[in-house]
Amino acid sequence: MRLLWLGAALRAASVLAQGISSCPGYIASNVQDSSSSITADLTLAGNPCNAYGDDIKDLKLLVEYQTGSRLHVKIYDAEERVYQIPDDILSMPKPGDSSGPRDLEFALEENPFSFSVRRTSNNQVLFNTSGQALVFESQYLRLRTSLPNNPNIYGFGENADPLRHDPQNYTHVDWNSGEAFMPPNANLYGSYPIYYDHRGGDGTHAVYLHNSNGKRINLGNDSEEFLEYNTLGGVFDFYFLSGPSPKDASAQLAGVIGFPTLMPYWGFGFHQCKYGYQDTLETAAVVANYSAANIPLETIWNDIDYMDYRSTFSLDPLRFPLSKMREFVNYLHHHNQHYIVMVDPAVASRDYPPFHDGVEKNAFMKEDNGTLYTGVVWPGPTNFPDWLAPHTQDFWDEQFGNFFNANSGVDIDGLWIDMNEASNFCDYPCPDPKKYSIEGRDPPRPPPARMSSPYDIPGFPADFQPKCVATVTFNVGALVPGGNDLLLFGDTVSIGNNTPFYAPNMQGSNGSWSLTAQFPANSKVTYSYPLYTHEGLYIFEAQNRTLHTQDCGSVSSVSDDWSVPNTSAVAVPDVFYSPVQTSTSKFDFNSSDPAGSMKGLPGRDLISPPYNIGTYDGPLSSQTLPTNLHHANGLAEYDVHNLYSSMMGRRSRNSMIKRRPGKRPLIITRSSYAGDGARVGHWFGDNRSIDRDYRLQIIQMIQFVAMFQMPMVGSDVCGFNYDTNPTLCARWAVLGAWNPFYRNHAEFSAIPQEFYRWPMVADAARKAIATRYRLLDYMYTNFHRQSTTGTPMLTPLLWEYPEDSNTFAIDMQFFHGDALLVSPVTTPNDTSVTFYLPNDLFYDFDKFTKIEGQGANVTRDNVGFSDIPVYIRGGSIVPLRINSANTTTELRRENFELIIAPSANGSAFGDLYLDDGGSLEPTKSSLLHFEYGNGSLAMHGTFRYNAGVKLSSIKLLGVNESSCSGHNSSTQTMTRSVNFPLTKGFTINLAQC
């Protein structure tokens, strides 16, 4: 299928090359030029080419000098009927003070119309559209800009490609997709139509296209190098950011799409999850095992396993009963730990309150005739929230308020939102969701419910400890018709009777089926083997079977014969696929909206547009919502598909804040759009336990933090898909500790990979977490800086050394903040790594020894599996906690140490931000600035928050000689014990003993 679809995309590109050449472009007229803006009318210059839709005859041009460093250029239809992103989804900045000097200058050619943007300081042309005619059609827009020779182009996410894109042949597709395994050259979970053009000493600029439609962006060369936008709709709404440094351009982007939200302090701790924690007992055991292994665990997560047959806002009553869940969460909170669960957007189409509440509030997506649109996700047939409907926020608030109620529900601390591209297993047109679900075994049958843990779980209540049970293995010799399952059904609570037919699959192979389950000891068990058919029916045996279990702790087995029941057997439909009665109403929107509506032109082919952007999964509606659906406000899913997850993040954040007023929520999303960092964080999705994906996280981390203003990001440490191994997991535990978001997570069928499973991994994790926790306030300070100024907390080397051409392609090293250069081992089994040290002064983070970078590669050998090369850049002051701790709550009680790494001229600088770590809008905070020079250290700043700790140690690096008692001649350091409060400034002469 994918090969056929790619072939269609290539053919479309060929047609494009032939048909687009006849497009006439536009002529500009009525040009109005003021001191801060330019407007013009654009009229089709000749006969329409109608290459992929109807050419729109009349356009408008708006140019705004919004600030000295930001230029806004918008080309849109004169009637303003073409879809534009609504301000209530992503609000764009208004013009500010542009009376001062301008970094950028706009110029246009009237006939044929084209425009250019140049940098005023050096007359460099940054953007020039004169090479090809502008095309603006009902379902296709094309605009091309020329590029300099051998350009350095970065950005365009989400992707799994090298950091610097190949300017001769690179294609990026914006179309949010739930594609697993991180394939290269594919559209992944999020859309970020942002690029950076780095020109060394001539500066860096960034360009953001405010357009949520599907698009294909090409880099290529056909007599000159170019960058070309091909979109399926919307308008050309550009923001040009002048830089001139890469960091400046990053910060300026935050002024356009929004500054990142500050995450709670505890969110920077270590997190553990696995798809497949079968019950509260196993989840609690993981927490206890981390404690026993002396590996700090801040937050434990549950995947969809906790749900009743994968249904959002429900609990499996046997494996995750509410009473035990509340005991579990109370235990965590009592031990200063945290809890997060997954919430998928799609709500099961079954008889339960969330479904009925959504129907009542008209909160679900509908067909144009008013019937609910039904797709298929994990719970089987499902309905999808319409985030743009007027009462969906109320619906979402109500579900969060009830299910996650602190007094009566599951009191989560953070939220994990997944499958929100939106993911839909049943491709368009999905005529029979029930049949598709049954054939796909959605929802999957849960494992046998356990009555008891097989071993002690230290520290947890009695409900979590071993009980008197007997274990029985059922062996059945059976041949069943193809496509059918054999189930075990019984009347004891251990198998389940919360619904009439609540039964786990038996595992079958070559006619031999077996299943192991727990039962009360010394008890009679009545059971049978119903056949579950691919029509969704249970076919029962004519009579029940019985057995008597043995004593506590016994392990026994039973062997039974079985044959297909005859026609007189009882057949009962699966309640999960029974139709649910609903009343619906047709949406009241006009398919021919008037001028100014900006909802999209009528008559478009919303399922199979003429132009093929070449999505990895095939047609636009593959594995997602049909693009011909309309939201309650009249917007087509075709236009807002890439914003579905963004709106879910916004609604979920509102709901989390409503249930915990005044508290910062930690929300981690899979799918996202530009600007979502203002509300949520992101994990990189379903990677694999392979070397390539271990390396890929470095590139992804750099892109999201430094280029997309989404700093709370990280990978599934040790890999999600496939089985990991000790060396890979050890390396990943160490590298993952430098992700802003740090979580170990694995897939259902993968082996358990918690850090305590292997001694070498446990050792690596202890050291990595200890280092991370001691540096947590340094990370938190840099995160706060990004949330207030846009200056990225983590950068590629070229962001720090923009004129060093050796750094332009480096994507396996990064700076954490301004001070720490991290150069991980990139082949996990190796114990040596070659990396680049710029022409600068550095100090080894572990040994404190000084090293002069020569602007060349260096090789470091004998890098243990618990180690990672980290260097402090000269001129930096790094604040650390004196000790690590088991939780971030305990960590905040530790005093601080400063490491001073002087530059070649003997100076150094650093910052420390302090607040309560959790308030949505802290009323009190401190921002401390440290300055070192001429042997003297001074602290000044704003002192509004009393952290209750002090600065108790200062370590000065690069001290060759000293008569002071704190001098270490082997490391060339001098350590001074001090006792300075962090509530007022001080000055100390470190040259004096």
Among all residues, which ones are annotated catalytic?
A: 418, 421, 686
Tokens of 532: 């579950």
Q: Are 796 and 163 in contact (CB under 8 A)?
A: yes
Classify burial at 30, counting beta carbons within 10 Å of its beta carbon; exposed 0-12, middle 13-18, buried 19 or more.
exposed
Q: Which helix (H) or strand (E) holds 888?
A: helix 888-891
Other Cβ atoms less than 10 A from the Cβ of 798: the count is 27
Backbone angles phi, psi at 290, to 5 degrees: -65, -40
Backbone angles phi, psi at 433, to 5 degrees: -60, -35
Which residues have C-beta within 8 Å of that of residue 293, sequence separation ≥ 6? 755, 756, 762
Q: Which of 740, 730, 666 is nearest to 697 (CA)?
A: 740
Tokens of 69: 């460093």
Strand pairing category for 742-744 and 716-717:
parallel
Q: Which of 688, 699, 680 is nearest to 729 (CA)?
A: 688
Q: What is the 3-state secondary structure (H, E, C) of 371-431?
A: CECEEEECCEEEECECCCCCCHHHHHHHHHHHHCCCCCCCCCCEEEECCCCCCCCCCCCCC
Nearest-5° Cα angle at 720, 740 to 824: 50
Q: Which of 207, 204, 209, 211 is nearest to 240 (CA)?
A: 207
CA distance 851 to 847: 11
DSSP state at residue 482: T
Q: Which of 813, 810, 792 is nearest to 869 (CA)?
A: 813
Q: Is 344 helix (H, G, I), strand (E, B) or coil?
A: coil
Q: Are 756 and 734 in contact (CB under 8 A)?
A: no
Instruction: Give 117-133 as a DSSP string.
Output: EEETTT--EEEE-TTS-
Strand partners of residue 455: none
Q: What is the 3-state secondary structure (H, E, C) of 690-750?
A: CHHHHHHHHHHHHHHHHHCCCCCEECEECCCECCCCHHHHHHHHHHHCCCCCEEECCCCCC
Sheet holding 512-520, edge to edge: 507-509, 512-520, 469-477, 555-561
Q: Which of 969, 947, 951 is nearest to 960 (CA)?
A: 969
**From residue 303, how far is each of 287, 442, 951 by CA, in Å?**
15, 16, 41
Q: Are 68 and 101 in contact (CB under 8 A)?
A: yes
Q: What is the 3-state secondary structure (H, E, C) of 770-820?
A: HHHHHCHHHHHHHHHHHHHHCCCCEECHHHHCCCCHHHCCCCCCEEECCCE
Nearest-5° Cα angle at 252, 216 to 797: 80
For 978, half-sphere exposure in the C-beta direction (CA atoms, 13 angstrom radius) is 22
Q: Which of 933, 948, 908, 944 is nearest to 987 (CA)?
A: 933
Tokens of 294: 């002396």
Residue matched to tokens 């996990």:
828
Tokens of 578: 């029974």
Q: What is the dihedral of CA 967, 971, 973, 977, to 10 degrees?
A: -70
